[in-house]
Amino acid sequence: MAKIKIQKKDIWIDMTPMSDVMTLLLCFFMLTSTFLTPEPIQVNTPGSVSEVKIPENDVLTILVSPEGRIYVGTENKNNMQAMMETVTDKFGIQLNGTQVKHFREDPMVGAPLKSLQAYLNLEPEKMGEAIQKLGIPLDSIDGGMSEFQEWVKAARQANEDIKLAIKCDAKTPYKVVKQMMNELQDMNENRYQLITNVQAASEE
């Protein structure tokens, strides 16, 4: 009886070329990467043909969610702390060591002053969740400057050359944007960078 003989083959695959390619890719990604700065909320910026790059330093990002919640933040932690000190001093808020530490770890300011302490007392894991329901109020305090304006003013004090970058969700109603810009205009802050996605000009 003829038996079909199954040939036993060596199933060893040479992984060397693959690992070569992988190393190259890895090097590429490690060198080109700029890490995503964490943001309290995810926004989808609208597309535009403008290709002007955002400067890397001295930028105060104003983040506006589709619901109109406003957050401000800058990449320089020392500026952030200086801002916090200016604003808390003005409103007589005393923060303890843990609260300051939590503030420094937070990427952006987003809590109204009256709940700032309670927010900074939370565990860091819960802060990320809580901040999504907060936001800096635009209402003026006793007819004077609003909390939002105070933060921007403090940022300007902390760093003279700071530029304002507005990162706004495409679906945000213009009403909110108008109110925010109006408050900035009242403070004589008239130049902004609107953060957008690069997109080719549509032809239809």
Partner 1 sequence: MAKKNLSKQKKMDTRVNFTPMVDMMMLLITFFMLATTLAKPASMQLTMPSNDENVQKEDKSVTKASHTITLYLGADNRVWYIAGLPNYEDPTCVKETTYGAKGIRDVLIKHTVEEGYNPVARIMKAKQELDAKKSAFGSTMTDEQYQQQLSKLKKGELPTGKIETMTVIIRPLDTATYENMVQALDEMLICSVDKYVIDKIGPEDQALIEKAGVK
The pair of three-digit structure tokens given for residue 193, joined into one six-digit string = 């960078």
Integer Cα distance of 108 and 121 in angstroms? 16
For 36, phi then psi, to 5°, come to: -65, 125
Q: Which of 50, 78, 98, 115 binds partner 1 (CB under 8 A)?
A: 50
CA gap 138, 84 in Å, rounded: 18
The 163-168 sheet, strands edge to edge: 70-74, 59-64, 163-168
Residue 16 sits in the site that holds partner 1 (CB under 8 A): yes
- Neighbouring C-alpha atoms within 13 Å toward the C-beta of 90: 16
CB of 24 to partner 1, least distance (A): 10
Only one of the segments 44-52, 92-100, 104-112, 137-145 lies at the binding site for partner 1 (rule: CB under 8 A); that segment is 44-52
Report CA Rg, the chain: 25
State the minimum distance, in angstroms, from the CB of residue 108 to partner 1. 16
Q: How far is the CB of 75 from partner 1 (least distance, A)?
A: 14
Nearer to partner 1, 160 or 204 (CB): 204
The site map against partner 1 for 54-93 (x = CB under 8 A) is x---------x-----------------------------
Touching partner 1, residues 120-179 (CB under 8 A): 165, 168-175, 177-178
Secondary structure of residue 47 in the 3-state scheme: strand
| Size of the residue set binding partner 1 (CB under 8 A) | 57
Q: Which of 86, 131, 134 is nearest to 105 (CA)?
A: 131
Under a CB-based contact definition with an 8 Å cutoff, are residues 148 and 180 in contact? yes
Give SS3 for 177. helix
Residues that bind partner 1 (CB under 8 A): 12, 15-16, 18-19, 22-23, 25-26, 29-30, 32-36, 45-54, 64, 165, 168-175, 177-178, 181-182, 184-186, 188, 190-198, 201-204
